[in-house]
Amino acid sequence: MQEPILDEVKLFEDIKRVNSELFAFFKEKYDFILSEKINQPQPPEDVDKLIKRFIVRSSEKPIFQKLNGADDIKDLLEDINDLAKAMGNSIDDIVQSYEEQLKNDQVVETIDMISRLVQKFRKALNARVKKFHVDDAVTVDEMQSDFFDLISKILKENLIERIIPAIYEGMKIGNVEIYDLILGKINNFLSAMGIRTLEIEAGQKINYDFCRPTESEENSTDDYRLKEVIKEIRQLPYIFDEDHIVVEGEVIGWRFING
């Protein structure tokens, strides 16, 4: 009569031992997951939601409109360099902080590349603005027009077209939080320069004055209502005031096929 009891005791002890081992295993696994949480790729956002992070609003007077004479150039250069320096230093701090925590080599490499590109932009901005002269300009409008051409070219080629797409592609993969911190500093800089983005949305008609559309067979439709309609936004238009375009928007449009 004693053997069944002994068997039950032994079975109970075995279950207790197994439960203890499982608890230890999952505790170790759970603690590991917590410690490594920052290195886990965050899920990507929907592209329509993602593009809204790139919206820039500004109430500042466009930087080129602050030039009213040759005597303003030195002060404007200092203001621009101060803004660019603050942006660059902030981004360096963000990158350094995350590089110490991240173990995702691809993300580390990308944000480090972005940081280097920002520093190159600062050098190009400083060098080219220093060379700006108003000798050939007769009126204030002409001076401002020449300065706009210079500033918009640098911003377009050395900052927006070079860095914004890298951030966008990185966000599409994941780790949105890291890229968003860097993007925020760039957006603040552009806003302080008097630049804003034109707010466009998927489903709207394509504004050819501000957007450069692309089409493909994958975006074909026989719905005439979608003709010349935005399917996806790849990059928002960046502008000064109402009509001074710095960078055109890039959108994917529906390709209407009749029949």
Task: For residue range 20-40, list pLDDT tens digits in order.
Answer: 554 454 444 444 333 344 444
d(CA 115, CA 84): 12
Query: pLDDT at position 165, please?
Result: 92
Tell me, yes or no, whether 188 and 81 share the same domain: yes
Helices 161-173 and 176-192, axial angle in degrees (round to 10): 150
Is 12 contained in some domain?
no
Tell me, yes or no, whether 102 and 177 share the same domain: yes
Domain endpoint, select from 181, 197, 213: 197
Task: State the amino acid at position 160 in one-letter form.
Answer: I
- On whether the CB atoms of residues 234 and 252 are closer than 8 A, the answer is yes
Is 24 contained in some domain?
no
Is 15 contained in some domain?
no
Tell me, yes or no, whether 115 and 53 share the same domain: yes
Instruction: For the chain, list the strands marked E by DSSP.
Output: 195-197, 211-214, 220-221, 230-235, 238-240, 244-247, 249-253, 255-256
Tell me, yes or no, whether 203 and 150 share the same domain: no
Tell me, yes or no, whether 139 and 238 share the same domain: no
**Among all chains, which residue has been given the structure tokens 């101060």?**
82
Number of domains in the chain: 2
Query: pLDDT at position 37, please?
Result: 41
Cα diameter, the chain: 114
Tell me, yes or no, whether 183 and 204 share the same domain: no
Tell me, yes or no, whether 144 and 206 share the same domain: no
Full residue range of the structural domain in which residue 169 is found: 47-197
- On whether the CB atoms of residues 91 and 182 are closer than 8 A, the answer is yes
Tell me, yes or no, whether 170 and 83 share the same domain: yes
- On whether the CB atoms of residues 194 and 58 are closer than 8 A, the answer is yes
Lowest mean pLDDT among 12-26, 122-136, 177-191: 12-26
Reported confidence tier of residue 150, pLDDT bands at 50, 70, 90: very high
d(CA 179, CA 170): 7
